[in-house]
């Protein structure tokens, strides 16, 4: 029954486990708790929206680690004055 249920729902919890582990390990290794990124995101939204209109819901703040370099990636979609997203830039 299990197998059938899974074929039907297409659930692959091993994959989910792997994705969640990847995420949590990036933060564990860098000693940057995921909640800190939320705080940074709030700061970024406050700072940039004070100057230009932005799509607040579209803001992405990500931590990335490659070899020995770590960086915070910030993606802030701008809004045109009419409230539409500017340009055709897609978020990753």
Partner 1 sequence: MESVVITITSGKGGVGKTTCAANIGSALGMLGKRVVLIDGDIGLRNLDIVMGLENRIVYDAVDFIEGRCRLKQALIRDKRAPELYLMPTAQTRDKSAINADQMVRLCDEMRGDFDYIIIDSPAGIEQGFHTCLAPANRCLVVTNPEVSSVRDADRVIGLIEAAEKGPAQLVINRIVAARVKRQEMLSTDDITEVLSTEIIGVVPEDENILIASNRGHPIVMNGKSPAALAFQDIARRITGEDIPLQPLRASGSILQRLFGRA
Residues near partner 1 (CB under 8 A) are 2-3, 6, 12-15, 17-18, 20-22, 24-25, 28-29
**Min dist. Cβ of residue 14 to partner 1 (A):** 5
Which residue lies nearer to partner 1 by CB, 23 or 43? Answer: 23
3-state secondary structure string across 2-37? HHHHHHHHCCCHHHHHHHHHHHHHHHHHHCCCHHHH
CB of 3 to partner 1, least distance (A): 6
CB of 74 to partner 1, least distance (A): 26
Distances in Å between the Cα of 81 and the Cα atoms of 4, 65, 78, 84, 86 are: 52, 36, 9, 7, 9
Nearer to partner 1, 4 or 88 (CB): 4
3 state SS of 89: coil
* Residue 8 or 81 having the CB closest to partner 1: 8
Minimum Å distance from CB 40 to partner 1? Answer: 23
Phi-psi region of 74 (alpha: psi -120 to 50; beta: other; left: phi over 0): beta
């Amino acid at each position: 029954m299990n197998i059938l249920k899974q074929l039907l729902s297409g659930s692959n919890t091993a994959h989910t486990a792997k994705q969640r582990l990847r995420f949590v390990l990036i933060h564990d290794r860098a000693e940057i708790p995921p909640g800190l990124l939320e705080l940074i995101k709030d700061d970024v939204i406050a700072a940039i929206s004070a100057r230009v209109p932005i799509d607040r819901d579209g803001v992405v703040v990500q931590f990335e680690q490659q070899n020995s370099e770590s960086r915070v990636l910030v993606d802030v979609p701008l809004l045109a004055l009419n409230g539409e997203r500017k340009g055709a830039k897609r978020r990753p």
